Amino acid sequence: DAGVIQSPRHEVTEMGQEVTLRCKPISGHNSLFWYRQTMMRGLELLIYFNNNVPIDDSGMPEDRFSAKMPNASFSTLKIQPSEPRDSAVYFCASRGTGDTEAFFGQGTRLTVV
C-alpha cells in the first residue's frame, strides 16, 4: 500500500489566491483527518470525516477554510482567499475501522506570500 498520499508537496501562492490541497487516504480506511502544523501551535485538528461525512469541523479556523470528501478515496481542503498566516504544513491522516493508529501523509508545505 502506498500509504496516505497528499498533493502537492509544496505550494507557494500569493495572498488572496485560492489554494486546494488534496488527499488520498489508505484504501479501506473509513476515517480521515486534516491537521495543520506550525511551530507556534503544533499539530491542530481542523476537520474529521467518518465514512465521508464531516463529524467535527470545530477546528476549522474561519469560513475561508472548507473541506470535502466526495468519496472514500479522495478529500480536499480549500482555502479561499489565502492569507500569509495560513502558511503551515497541512497533514492528512486516515484510520481504519477499529484501528487505533492514524496514518499520516507526507504533508503539504504551504507558503502564502
* Chain contacts with other proteins (rule: CB under 8 A): 4, 31, 33, 35, 41-43, 45, 48, 50, 55-56, 91, 93, 100-107
- Of 79 and 93, the one with the shorter C-beta distance to other proteins is 93
- 3-state secondary structure at position 65: strand
In the bound complex, what is the minimum distance in angstroms from residue 16's beta carbon to other proteins? 27
Residues 48 and 86: their CA atoms lie apart, in Å, by: 19
Residue tagged 507557494 (cell numbers): 12
- Of 3 and 84, the one with the shorter C-beta distance to other proteins is 3
Beta-ladder partners of 91:
35
- Of 56 and 83, the one with the shorter C-beta distance to other proteins is 56
Residues 111 and 15: their CA atoms lie apart, in Å, by: 9
Residues 78 and 95: their CA atoms lie apart, in Å, by: 22
- Of 7 and 80, the one with the shorter C-beta distance to other proteins is 7
In the bound complex, what is the minimum distance in angstroms from residue 105's beta carbon to other proteins? 6
Residues 37 and 51: their CA atoms lie apart, in Å, by: 24
In the bound complex, what is the minimum distance in angstroms from residue 2's beta carbon to other proteins? 13
